[in-house]
Amino acid sequence: MANSPMTRTQFSSSLIAGAVAHTMFQTGWFGFGMSLAGLAAAALFGNLVDVIGDAIGSEAVPSLFNSLGVGADILFWVLIAMLIGSLVLVLLAVIVSVWLLRLTGQRKPWAVTWASLGITAVLDIGLFWLYVWLATAVTDSPVAGPVLLTPVFALVGGILLGALVWWAIAHAFRNKSAEQQGGDGERGDGDAATAAPAPVTPAEA
């Protein structure tokens, strides 16, 4: 028996799943990118310190360089922890999305989740810079604005974008067979009525 199109409960669940799951995914996605960038910078800085130390000589290396080297090592492991945490957050976003969609009998919750995540992952890259630009435009400070307001814009934008994308994909994956069968039935009744022979009157008999 074919599933019916999206019910009002499924419509609401797709909005909630998108808002919650995309907020989690967006945080993990941004954290993943920043962690990778930080790891690259930390590795470059650590190598630079080692090169300078080797050039000067191990006995003549000031304590400052030693401290910088230790700090670079600590930063490296902090970024590794952030990277792992970001991946865990992305995984949780997938689980939460599938769970919320399946809870209301949404059709193809895994397909809806992966398609929505793929679309938002691409859009989030461009929207991140839009959030930074908006945060800079509404404040006088080029530093405090992006640092303080960008997360706020990202949170609001992420909720709206997630709800819209998840609803659109869930709507696209809904089962249309019930509507099509209804339309075919109506056309079939019309065709049957047209093809039915006219009743024979007694005079004609």
Higher-scoring residue by pLDDT: 191, 33? 33
DSSP assignment letter at 195 = H
Count, residues in the chain: 205
Q: pLDDT category, 107, cuts 50, 70, 90?
A: confident
Directed axis angle between helix 8-56 and helix 109-137, to 10°?
A: 60
Confidence at residue 39, expressed as pLDDT on a 0 to 100 scale:
79
Q: How many angstroms separate the CA atoms of 70 and 76, rounded?
A: 10
Higher-scoring residue by pLDDT: 198, 95? 95
pTM for the predicted model, two decimal places: 0.69
Confidence at residue 58, expressed as pLDDT on a 0 to 100 scale:
53
Question: Per-residue pLDDT for 110 more than 60?
Answer: yes
Directed axis angle between helix 63-103 and helix 109-137, to 10°?
A: 130
Q: How many angstroms separate the CA atoms of 131 and 157, rounded?
A: 8
Give per-residue pLDDT as tens, 49-106: 666 666 665 555 555 555 555 666 777 788 888 889 999 999 999 999 999 999 888 8
Question: Per-residue pLDDT for 199 more than 60?
Answer: no
Complete DSSP assignment for 34-96: HHHHHHHHHHHHHHHHHHHHHHH-TTT--HHHHHHHHHHHHHHHHHHHHHHHHHHHHHHHHHH
- In sequence order, what are the residues at sequence separation of 6 or more whose Cβ sits closer than 8 angstroms to the Cβ of residue 175? 2, 3, 4, 5, 107
Give per-residue pLDDT as tens, 7-38: 888 888 899 999 999 999 999 988 888 888 87
Higher-scoring residue by pLDDT: 193, 156? 156
Give per-residue pLDDT as tens, 138-169: 877 677 777 778 888 889 999 999 999 999 99
Q: How many angstroms separate the CA atoms of 127 and 37, rounded?
A: 18
Q: How many angstroms separate the CA atoms of 50 and 170, rounded?
A: 53
**Structure tokens belonging to residue 102:** 């399946």
Higher-scoring residue by pLDDT: 186, 102? 102
